[in-house]
């Protein structure tokens, strides 16, 4: 922890500050009175204590490292996700339509994508849409459809949850709970998903910093998530010109957390041709796999059809790996 001190804090002020710090950090003793504008303390302090330190007279700010702030998410443990996704054999492809729309098209897509090399199925029932008039997903009516797809293909299901009240029921069928970009900061949802016992896929919110992403991962781990996968999806919500995928941050997230990081090229691309290009760039840039929109009916999809690639295009992509 680095404590930034007021510029003209004199010796008496510094002495008082050290006394107050010692009271807040039982067991810590200052070696000497700091002369500069920075006081470095290597001593664990909880978030509540940090808030009190920030508020002490003579203090202008407190800086914490990622590992002080997110001890679980930065432990760097290299976890092999043997179940439900296996990252030990090369890139993992989770593919499927943006949302489940009807039984016939979903089961046909599931079978075709499995044959084309998918390792998991996108299986969204609830869609967080920017417009309240847009298709919101088929909801619980789709649970038996995705359960059937899982039974037929043997593939694990990656399903977005948008509300803590969905988590329990979704967990009875789904293998990975997806936290979408808009919900990365939905802390009650993170708590519920973390304690569900299911693996969680956490997307980076649009424009979120690495630290904000890590803090959301920390919520999931603190509340019990054992298997966690991160996913970079880019910064743009509406732009059709800038995908905003941040491969540098993706690599940094991999390094700091030791967790697998997927890339979603679809929502960044907003166009199926660009989605394929971004997918290849992501894999070349070190992504551990893809969460990609693909189906047998992209041209008639109610949602995100323009960016959904065909099962054949997905097969060509997967065949390269």
> Where do contacts with ligand PEP occur on this chain (CB under 6 A)?
98, 124, 160, 180-182, 203, 233, 264, 267
Residue 172 is encoded by which pair of tokens?
Answer: 């009875």
CA 57 to chain centre: 38
Q: Does residue 192 bind Mn ion (CB under 5 A)?
A: no
How far apart, in whole angstroms, are the C-alpha atoms of residue 217 and residue 97? 26
The minimum distance between CB 25 and Mn ion, in angstroms, equals 48
- Scanning 98-106, 150-158, 169-177, 246-254 for contacts with Mn ion by CB under 5 A, the matching segment is 98-106
The minimum distance between CB 175 and ligand PEP, in angstroms, equals 16
- CA-angle at 118, arms to 143 and 320, nearest 5°: 160
Look at phi and psi of residue 224 and say left if phi exceeds 0, alpha if psi is from -120 to 50, else beta: left
How far apart, in whole angstroms, are the C-alpha atoms of residue 141 and residue 247? 37
| Out of 98, 107, 179, 193, the residue judged to bind Mn ion by CB under 5 A | 98
Q: Are 118 and 93 within 8 A, CB to CB? A: yes
Q: Does residue 304 bind Mn ion (CB under 5 A)?
A: yes
Q: Does residue 101 bind Mn ion (CB under 5 A)?
A: no
Q: Are 188 and 167 within 8 A, CB to CB? A: no
| Residue indicated by tokens 């900061």 | 185
Handedness of CA 307, 106, 204, 304 (dihedral sign): positive
The minimum distance between CB 304 and Mn ion, in angstroms, equals 4
The minimum distance between CB 179 and ligand PEP, in angstroms, equals 8
| CB within 8 Å of 65: residues ≥ 6 apart | none
Taking the least distance from each CB to ligand PEP, the nearer of 233 and 272 is 233
DSSP designation for 6: P
The minimum distance between CB 76 and ligand PEP, in angstroms, equals 26
Could you say which of Mn ion, ligand PEP, none residue 235 binds, taking C-beta under 5 to 8 angstroms by partner kind? none
How far apart, in whole angstroms, are the C-alpha atoms of residue 74 and residue 28? 24
How far apart, in whole angstroms, are the C-alpha atoms of residue 246 and residue 232? 7
- Scanning 29-37, 97-105, 202-210, 273-281 for contacts with Mn ion by CB under 5 A, the matching segment is 97-105
The minimum distance between CB 307 and Mn ion, in angstroms, equals 7
Taking the least distance from each CB to ligand PEP, the nearer of 64 and 274 is 274
Taking the least distance from each CB to ligand PEP, the nearer of 53 and 143 is 143
The minimum distance between CB 145 and Mn ion, in angstroms, equals 18
Taking the least distance from each CB to Mn ion, the nearer of 98 and 184 is 98
The minimum distance between CB 184 and ligand PEP, in angstroms, equals 8
Could you say which of ligand PEP, Mn ion, none residue 180 binds, taking C-beta under 5 to 8 angstroms by partner kind? ligand PEP
- CA-angle at 265, arms to 192 and 289, nearest 5°: 70
Taking the least distance from each CB to ligand PEP, the nearer of 114 and 267 is 267
Residue 245 is encoded by which pair of tokens?
Answer: 């995928």
Could you say which of ligand PEP, Mn ion, none residue 150 binds, taking C-beta under 5 to 8 angstroms by partner kind? none
Taking the least distance from each CB to ligand PEP, the nearer of 53 and 157 is 157
Helix (H) / strand (E) element for 262: namely strand 261-263
Binding site for Mn ion (CB under 5 A): 98, 304
């Amino acid at each position: 922890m680095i404590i930034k001190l007021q510029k003209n804090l004199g010796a008496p002020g510094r002495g008082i500050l050290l006394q107050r710090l010692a009271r807040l950090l039982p067991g810590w003793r200052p070696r000497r009175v700091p002369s500069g504008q920075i006081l470095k303390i290597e001593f664990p302090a909880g978030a509540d204590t940090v808030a009190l330190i920030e508020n002490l007279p003579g203090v202008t700010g407190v800086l914490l490292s990622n590992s002080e702030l997110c001890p679980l998410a930065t432990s760097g443990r290299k976890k092999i996700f043997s179940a439900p996704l296996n990252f030990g054999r090369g890139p993992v492809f989770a593919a499927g339509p943006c949302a489940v729309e009807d039984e016939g098209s979903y089961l046909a897509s599931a079978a075709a994508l499995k044959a084309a090399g998918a390792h998991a199925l996108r299986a969204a029932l609830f869609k967080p849409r920017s417009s309240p008039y847009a298709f919101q997903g088929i909801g619980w009516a789709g649970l038996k459809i995705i359960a059937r797809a899982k039974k037929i293909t043997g593939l694990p299901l990656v399903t977005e949850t948008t509300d803590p009240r969905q988590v329990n029921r979704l967990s009875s069928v789904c293998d990975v709970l997806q936290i979408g970009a808009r919900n990365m900061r939905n802390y009650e949802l993170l708590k519920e998903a973390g304690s569900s016992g299911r693996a969680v896929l956490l997307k980076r919110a649009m424009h979120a910093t690495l630290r904000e992403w890590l803090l959301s991962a920390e919520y999931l781990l603190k509340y019990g998530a054992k298997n966690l996968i991160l996913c970079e999806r880019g910064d743009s919500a509406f732009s059709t010109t800038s995908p905003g995928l941040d491969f540098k941050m993706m690599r940094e997230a991999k390094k700091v957390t030791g967790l697998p990081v997927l890339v979603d090229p679809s929502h960044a691309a907003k166009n199926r041709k660009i989605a394929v290009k971004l997918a290849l760039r992501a894999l070349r840039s070190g992504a551990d796999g893809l969460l990609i929109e693909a189906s047998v009916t992209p041209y008639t999809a109610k949602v995100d059809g323009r960016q959904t690639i065909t099962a054949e295009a997905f097969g060509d992509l997967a065949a390269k790996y």
